[in-house]
Structure 1
């Protein structure tokens, strides 16, 4: 039986041993190792079969540290939680050992944790109970010391991890590279065997796994279980392991920015997670979520930059490429590159056939015309036209894995379809492809329409206006230029007097030769004064002044042209008379006012002309003009009163004109002093 002196000596030895163990903890030390050493000392001193020290967090009853000497962690936690209710050392009911002794660790009425000793050999004596009470007073101060070190270590751990993330964020803005880097950092910081990083998909909003390291080799149902539980969390917390996997602890935290859920992170390992692990994950998420947001913003800016660069290149192609088919091919190549597709095509409506689309350009023409492809191309193109919006399909099976088509629309008119097949990305054509395609094609359809319109204008006007004027009109790219519109203009009619009898007197070859000479010289004069050649009707020449090129002085230009035409015609008569040839006299009629000008006719055969009362009036004035005369309407005269010399004739009743018309005969132009030239 030990004496009181021996008990005191043994108690002193225990206190000194505990004190030495506590002194081994430095600022850069491991508190867990210190508490494990304390547990080993207590086990040895009390000749116990096991000892456990469990500490709880400052702000909650979560377990912060488990130090076990000879006991499983789960048993330690269970017994020490019971011991936390014992203000003094006392036995604990447990059938696994004959004798169990526990006591709470407390300081200034704040519970810090619990201590448990177990053995089968003999009951705990009163001296041992007193010695455990004394040991508790040493251990509580060790807890305070450890917490200081823990906080410092935790802060260093957080700063180290944050620094790693910050360096990663500075190194790359690519989302995939960020995810890979985050996974590596989390595995290292938590010594984890499992790491899942989930992000919401930009298209569907579904939470999908973007990064995974799984050393547990979990099956698909187990991973889906983890994904489902991680989707709903709001704060870092432990989530349940899948059924049948008992040695896996899971800690998850959400990516939430401005109330929007971006995703979640899950780390897994066999060891339980401490409160420090929770804090670390919370600190990491505040850095990782901002990096993900920045990455997505950067990605959107990159897409916008790619979109603008593509539009710029298409704009340059439009300015550079003169050949329409080459233009389509170059534009198609740019579109396919922008959305990363293997095959692309452009279909346009055939001229005059609104219901039938024609393949005008393709990147892989031999493949695109194969039966399997042709059916899909026509179906998705027709669908885009019928719905007047972008359509797409993604299906993993078959030669066509994905397809997308968008109508080319301008001024609410569909002019064709752009389509692409087989995205080079595994998920097919996504929302980013669709956004960029809609933005780019809004420029493409303009380019195509302008070139089509220019081709139409060139075809229609190449023989009607001076080539320099035509190029000026084409550079303006005015898409409404040929559409019908009300304009104020002057119309000039000039034809030969007695041409029917003359045609009967001369040989056909002479007739053709003379008429071609006459019509050519008259056309040159119309072009000289900026007019448009409307048409030839037999030996009659019709010129328009004021359309399609607008001009304020259209009436003056028309009269100038009429005077020069008469002068040139009289010179032609003298030359031909000297050759023994005949050219009849010519009369000219000019009328000014409002008319409707534009393209009239059928797509197969159309012309640019003007319709209206003043056109009819000009024709009638020409019909009553004598050879060598220039007759003008009242509107024309009133417009040019200060610029020309004219004589008013008697009012004339003209066919198709209800009231007698005031008619003026042009004598000449006035000079700067207002006198006849």
Structure 2
């Protein structure tokens, strides 16, 4: 053969090789995975270079990890070693291998790229001629574009596949009414996307944390022990991966991925099929998991919000029961009825603790007395309730046999004192009352404790005194009172009267709306001072405010405290005057009168309009002293002056003869007071 014919034959051979390489590019499978194409290219290298083995390795785009590896006539490890050996080559060249006498290798490199895309090799026991080396150079020059093309097509197809799955998951999240329904739909979606024969959806139990099977499609009808083995394997993984296949399902390939959100394991997904999972499948599952975990968390949060709404609705209904003026036992029965609506059960009960009785618990209400018909049931309920009382915490038990399959008992605690127990019997769930049920019990009974089981008298005290004393003082009174503080009794107190000087003329000078607004601000500031000093707001009389010190909260130094409050009221009022003046508004000064001594304090008036107030000579005297006080002045009575015992600086004024008070009364102008404790 002449040189010309030899060159022509070489060009024909190279052209055939290029055509074959080009045809191999069309070997992408329908999901865009390049593995099939590169497998065809490896086989093509073997055929055209008459090699006994060939391999192509592609590196990941962002690391030195292997993205894809295909090989013919070689083991996986040998193929990796030879391709790694070819990576640093600047041009096609010879490699060293103990398996073959002659090996050619080349990197796959884009023009001007800093790093290779991968590498390839061909091997045989007979030498390669120069034509083979030329063909290898030709293959290397064609493979770079094949890699880029394959990656572009694969990425586009893969992205479309992922976006479609993510879109469906997003729609499910927005439309599913419950976690169970969401899991069922997600299970079917996984089955469809991966053409799987097996799909298992595991989620951690909200109470025990065990991995429970919540969704399953099993076309192989696997036995329970195989499913348990798969569950145990899935519970250990921390990244998406192929699971070791149990012998009983050896023909299946299992791909699993965990649900982990903020370091907390929610569960796992396992899909299985006979065909191995491709790189695209791995990436699709990863993309779907990132959406499914948030969908599950979103659904759980939505369910928790719905649960909180049910709690609030129940508490609102309990408040309505509390506000009804009905007999106590009937009130308890209504409360129990509302509680059993909130926590689904066959029966509920309320027992109250009687500290000094032989029977420590007294049944006060039950929705189904049939549970108490059998003595063993009654004894069991009482025993569990006593345990809840002794421990001071909720107790939950589940029984396999008997009329009482599940029961939860919650202590009722008022002011840190256990007073009773609320219980629910037989949840419709096989595992008993779940965490949401028990949280509902605790949340609601915490309201029942204070809203229902306070003594009727103390509830009346709370209603009457809420507007009259500071909330902290009120809680102190309710906590420590051993008797009804609202009953009329003689007490030693100080009464403070404060009103605006010249309010009649002032009211005629300004618009009515401004008058009302100004007086409301004034009264609010004065009440704040009274409450600050643990005083009691008696009432408002127009622009006058009346405060009591020493009732219903006893005070040893009520006169001193009242005087401190009076001086602070003058200071606060002067500050308020300055604020209103800056706004171009007028607020006249105030005068204050304080009287100390014995008075009758308690609840006066019919139930519908009852008020806590004080009556007696010192109350009348306090009003007269207030009337005698000049602008910015605090006038105190002789008894108040005496009780101060040198702890204040005063100026003795001329005695007055107040209307309705027998004889002249010596009065004092209060200038300073001892602020030390």
TM-score, normalised relative to structure 1: 0.59
DSSP-derived class of the 1:449 partner: coil
DSSP-derived class of the 1:141 partner: helix
Q: What are the Cα deviations for residues 214-239 of structure 1, in whole angstroms up to 9, with x where unaligned?
A: 45555556555554554454444445
Asked if the contact 2:199/2:272 (under 8 Å) is kept, the reply is yes
* Residues 1:399 and 2:403 aligned together: yes
Asked if the contact 2:621/2:661 (under 8 Å) is kept, the reply is no
Higher mean displacement: 335-344 or 249-258:
249-258
Cα distance between partner residues in 1 of 2:21 and 2:620: 120
By how many angstroms is 1:443 displaced? 2.1
Asked if the contact 1:103/1:116 (under 8 Å) is kept, the reply is yes
Asked if the contact 1:194/1:216 (under 8 Å) is kept, the reply is yes
Asked if the contact 1:233/1:253 (under 8 Å) is kept, the reply is yes
- Aligned residue for 1:524? none
Cα distance between partner residues in 2 of 1:315 and 1:160: 50
Highest Rg: 1 or 2?
A: 1
* Residues 1:110 and 2:98 aligned together: no
By how many angstroms is 1:328 displaced? 2.8
Alpha-carbon distance change, 399 to 490 in structure 1, aligned in 2, over 3 angstroms: closer
DSSP-derived class of the 2:426 partner: strand
Asked if the contact 1:94/1:100 (under 8 Å) is kept, the reply is no
* Residues 1:11 and 2:21 aligned together: no
By how many angstroms is 1:437 displaced? 0.7
Asked if the contact 1:54/1:115 (under 8 Å) is kept, the reply is no
Q: What are the Cα deviations for residues 510-553 of structure 1, in whole angstroms up to 9, with x where unaligned?
A: xxxxxxxxxxxxxxxxxxxxxxxxxxxxxxxxxxxxxx999xxx
Q: Equivalences for 1:585-604 in 2 at 5 Å?
A: none
Cα distance between partner residues in 1 of 2:312 and 2:265: 30
DSSP-derived class of the 1:360 partner: strand
DSSP-derived class of the 2:453 partner: helix
Cα distance between partner residues in 2 of 1:216 and 1:89: 51
- Aligned residue for 2:310? 306
Cα distance between partner residues in 1 of 2:29 and 2:431: 54
Cα distance between partner residues in 2 of 1:274 and 1:642: 93
Alpha-carbon distance change, 479 to 6 in structure 1, aligned in 2, over 3 angstroms: closer
Higher mean displacement: 478-487 or 237-246:
478-487
Q: Equivalences for 1:560-599 in 2 at 5 Å?
A: none
Higher mean displacement: 43-52 or 375-384:
43-52
* Residues 1:435 and 2:439 aligned together: yes
By how many angstroms is 1:639 displaced? 8.0
DSSP-derived class of the 2:346 partner: strand
- Aligned residue for 1:483? 483
Q: Equivalences for 1:208-223 in 2 at 5 Å?
A: 208-215=212-219, 223=227
Q: What are the Cα deviations for residues 443-494 of structure 1, in whole angstroms up to 9, with x where unaligned?
A: 223344257659999xxxxxxxxxxxxxxxxxxx989887165987369xxx
By how many angstroms is 1:296 displaced? 2.8
By how many angstroms is 1:345 displaced? 1.6
Cα distance between partner residues in 2 of 1:26 and 1:78: 26
Asked if the contact 1:52/1:76 (under 8 Å) is kept, the reply is no
Cα distance between partner residues in 2 of 1:129 and 1:215: 52
Alpha-carbon distance change, 54 to 372 in structure 1, aligned in 2, over 3 angstroms: farther
Alpha-carbon distance change, 104 to 145 in structure 1, aligned in 2, over 3 angstroms: same
* Residues 1:168 and 2:172 aligned together: yes
DSSP-derived class of the 1:150 partner: helix
Gaps of 5+ in 2: 87-91, 462-476, 492-550, 554-596, 604-614, 624-657, 663-677
DSSP-derived class of the 2:266 partner: strand
TM-score, normalised relative to structure 2: 0.59
* Residues 1:345 and 2:349 aligned together: yes
Count of paired positions: 491
* Residues 1:257 and 2:261 aligned together: yes
Cα distance between partner residues in 2 of 1:283 and 1:641: 83
- Aligned residue for 1:81? 80
Asked if the contact 1:175/1:292 (under 8 Å) is kept, the reply is yes
* Residues 1:57 and 2:60 aligned together: yes
Asked if the contact 2:31/2:154 (under 8 Å) is kept, the reply is no
- Aligned residue for 1:623? none
Cα distance between partner residues in 2 of 1:100 and 1:336: 84
Alpha-carbon distance change, 357 to 292 in structure 1, aligned in 2, over 3 angstroms: same
DSSP-derived class of the 2:393 partner: coil
Gaps of 5+ in 1: 458-476, 492-547, 551-591, 599-634, 644-670
* Residues 1:449 and 2:461 aligned together: no
* Residues 1:151 and 2:155 aligned together: yes
